[in-house]
Chain A
Amino acid sequence: MIKLENISKSFGDKQVLNNISSVFEKGKTNLIIGQSGSGKTVLLKSIIGLHQIDEGNIYYDNREFSRMSEKKKKDIRKEIGMVFQGGALFDSATVEENVGFPLEMFTDMSDEEKKERVNFCLSKVNLENVNHLYPAEISGGMQKRVAIARAISLNPKYLFCDEPNSGLDPRTAIVIDQLIKELTVEFNMTTVINTHDMNSVIEIGDKILYIYKGEKWWEGTNDEILYTDNKELNDFIFASDLMRKFKKSQL
Chain B
Amino acid sequence: MGKDIVLKANNINKYFREPTLFHVLKDISFEIETGEFVSIMGKSGCGKSTLLYILSTMDTDYEGQLLLSGDDLSLKTADELAYIRNRDIGFIFQFHYLLQEFTVLENVMLPAKKLGIKSLQEIEHDAMEKLRLLGIADQAKKLSMRISGGQKQRVAIARALINSPSIIMGDEPTGNLDSKNSQNVFSILKELSQEEKLSLLVVTHDLDFAKKTNRIIEMADGRVV
Q: Indicate whether A and B interact.
A: no
